[in-house]
Homo-oligomer: A and B are copies of this chain.
Amino acid sequence: MAGAVVFDKVVIFGVGLIGGSFALALRTAGVVGHIVGMGRSKEALGRALELGIVDSVGDSIAAALNGASLVLIAAPVAQTEAILASMLPHLEAGTIVTDAGSTKADVAAAARRALGARISQFVPGHPIAGGESNGPDAAVANLYQGKKTVLTPLPENSAIDIARVAGAWTACGAVVRQLEPGEHDKVFAAVSHLPHLLAYALVDDIANKRHAGLLFQYAASGFRDFTRIAASSPEMWRDISLANRDALLGELDAYLAQLIGMRAMLAAGDGAALETVYANAQRARRQWTGAIEAAEASQAPDVTQ
């Protein structure tokens, strides 16, 4: 990739689907020298080395950070503060740190606590990609291709550091956008965190019914799609729910009000009112998927795979 930012040494905390795919994508794009894997699971690190996702596994944080250009934290959000605190004593002035957490206001606050005056070196980010599988074996070079990555820079970040983190994600094939951390969290509370909670709620509701076995027998493809996100990690979504509690409560309350309104329409047999809601939803969704398809059709062919 001519003219792209190049990173001599990249350190990745968490070499699963997200971190591993970032490593593979940077390598495929030819913008990285050496990649070091770090993390709590020796097994995952060994597997990442075996799969060629990382070039080495860090013996210590000090050694890993020695001469590092870029660090990606791709571990559960609740671990971000501890990881950053452990990095601080070894963090060189020229190293940029970013993360891949699904919530950003809490991560920014955790980073401020952990890094103090060095906060300018941390540029928070959130790649909007994932999958039902996890671990190094799930990592693929094209996970971020055509997907959005949202950076939520802090006032202390320099424009050049933001641009370098953006450059790394662009090299991975992602489309980089910027939001304020709080704005990010409100947006994702609505379009991601609430739907997850709703899907978990429905499956748990059905699973707890006396005749759950009968119900699951007749659940079909519509149910399968609707509940696909309930296949996600309970621990991860517990952390996200708590980390983004205020925004999620706000979205949940709005949704509860919507459901209670629709319950009244249904109880009154008001077909016209129900149809108005259904038709508005169908139209909005069609507009949205139409825009996605148009964007996909106009995208440059994928050259990184």
What is the interface of chain A, defined by CB distance below 8 A to chain B? Answer: 128-130, 147-148, 150, 177, 187-188, 190-192, 194-209, 211-212, 214-220, 222-235, 237-239, 241-242, 245, 248-249, 252-256, 258-260, 262-263, 266-267, 269, 271, 274-275, 277-286, 288-289, 291-292
- Chain B CB within 10 A, most for which of A204, A207, A253, A266: A204
Given A187-B211, A198-B226, 13 additional A-B pairs, CB 8 A:
A128-B220, A187-B215, A191-B218, A201-B258, A201-B262, A203-B284, A204-B277, A204-B284, A212-B284, A222-B229, A225-B229, A253-B263, A255-B259
In contact, B281 and A207 (Cβ under 8 angstroms): yes
| Complex CA–CA separation, A233 to B275 (angstroms) | 9
In contact, B238 and A200 (Cβ under 8 angstroms): no
Report if A220-B206 is in contact (Cβ < 8 Å); known contacts: A225-B225, A269-B242, A278-B200. no
Q: Which 3 A-B pairs have the closest CB atoms?
A: A207-B284, A234-B278, A203-B281
Report if A275-B190 is in contact (Cβ < 8 Å); known contacts: A128-B220, A201-B262, A225-B225. no
Contact of A260 among B187, B231, B256, B289 (CB under 8 A): B256
| Complex CA–CA separation, A218 to B292 (angstroms) | 11
Which residues of B lie under 8 Å from residue A229 when comparing CB positions? Answer: 222, 225-226
In contact, B281 and A218 (Cβ under 8 angstroms): no
A179 CB → nearest B CB, Å: 8
| Complex CA–CA separation, A260 to B205 (angstroms) | 12
| Complex CA–CA separation, A248 to B232 (angstroms) | 27
| Complex CA–CA separation, A262 to B291 (angstroms) | 34
Q: Return the chain B residue nearest A238 by Cβ.
A: B275
| Complex CA–CA separation, A147 to B275 (angstroms) | 28
| Complex CA–CA separation, A223 to B234 (angstroms) | 18
| Complex CA–CA separation, A129 to B279 (angstroms) | 22
Report if A266-B252 is in contact (Cβ < 8 Å); known contacts: A195-B226, A218-B148. yes
| Complex CA–CA separation, A130 to B194 (angstroms) | 27
Contact of A202 among B195, B201, B220 (CB under 8 A): B195
In contact, B281 and A192 (Cβ under 8 angstroms): no
In contact, B231 and A286 (Cβ under 8 angstroms): yes
Which residues of B lie under 8 Å from residue A259 when comparing CB positions? Answer: 198, 201, 252, 255-256, 259
Which residues of B lie under 8 Å from residue A230 when comparing CB positions? Answer: 278, 281-282, 285
Report if A256-B245 is in contact (Cβ < 8 Å); known contacts: A190-B215, A192-B220, A234-B279. no
Which residues of B lie under 8 Å from residue A231 when comparing CB positions? Answer: 282, 285-286, 289
Report if A228-B226 is in contact (Cβ < 8 Å); known contacts: A148-B218, A200-B281, A274-B238. yes
Report if A237-B198 is in contact (Cβ < 8 Å); known contacts: A215-B191, A285-B231. no
| Complex CA–CA separation, A219 to B194 (angstroms) | 12
Contact of A191 among B129, B198, B223, B282 (CB under 8 A): B223
Which residues of B lie under 8 Å from residue A196 when comparing CB positions? Answer: 222
Contact of A271 among B150, B242, B291 (CB under 8 A): B242
